């Protein structure tokens, strides 16, 4: 896969743990989503991510990429979707997905569980991402989404309570 980069970069934020980061771009075609996700999930699970967390990350990633390809870049083969995935030694995973589209009003996102939205054929991807990831936030007018799944250590502590 072209444009893949793996780098070990010293932490720049509040994290005291070292991390490994993969940066990659993918074509804005729906057929490119699944092969890319398989590649990225091999990278993520190599950091001993628990099965449940890996399934959550994969689903959120699939939704974010589909939104970027279909809604953001409108499947324009001349546009790319850019992904950065940072895996910390403690198991925390940060993923950023950025498209080259015009963005959207992040305040206009409606709850798909409302009675009048239950039969809608779209609008569940963002909701799913928000439900299964520990943090989801948007920047650059909705063209960039940051998702975080907390560490294995945090999950173990939560389950022991």
- 154 within 8 A of 110, measured Cβ to Cβ: no
pLDDT exceeds 50 at position 96:
yes
Fold of the 5-159 domain? Heat Shock Protein 90 (3.30.565)
Regarding pTM above 0.85, the answer is no
Residue owning tokens 């995973």: 93
Confidence band of 135 (pLDDT split at 50, 70, 90): very high
Question: What 3-state DSSP class applies to 115?
Answer: helix
Instruction: Outline where the chain has alpha helix (H).
Output: 33-45, 51-66, 125-132, 152-159
Rounded CA gap, 150 and 131, in Å? 13
């Amino acid at each position: 896969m072209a444009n893949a980069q793996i780098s070990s970069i010293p932490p720049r934020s509040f994290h005291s743990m070292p991390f490994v980061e993969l940066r990659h771009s993918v074509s804005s075609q729906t057929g490119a989503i699944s092969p890319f996700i398989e590649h990225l999930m091999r990278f993520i699970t190599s950091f001993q991510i628990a099965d449940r967390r890996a399934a959550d990350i994969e689903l959120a990633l699939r939704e974010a990429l589909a939104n970027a390809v279909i809604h953001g870049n409108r499947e324009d083969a001349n546009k790319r979707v850019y992904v950065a995935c940072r895996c910390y030694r403690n198991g925390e995973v940060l993923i950023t997905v950025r498209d080259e589209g015009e963005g959207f009003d992040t305040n206009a996102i409606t709850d798909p569980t409302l009675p009048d939205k239950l039969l809608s054929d779209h609008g569940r991807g963002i909701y799913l991402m928000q439900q299964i990831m520990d943090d989801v936030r948007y920047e650059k007018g909705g063209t960039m989404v940051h998702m975080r799944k907390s560490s294995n250590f945090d999950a173990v502590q939560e389950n022991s309570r």
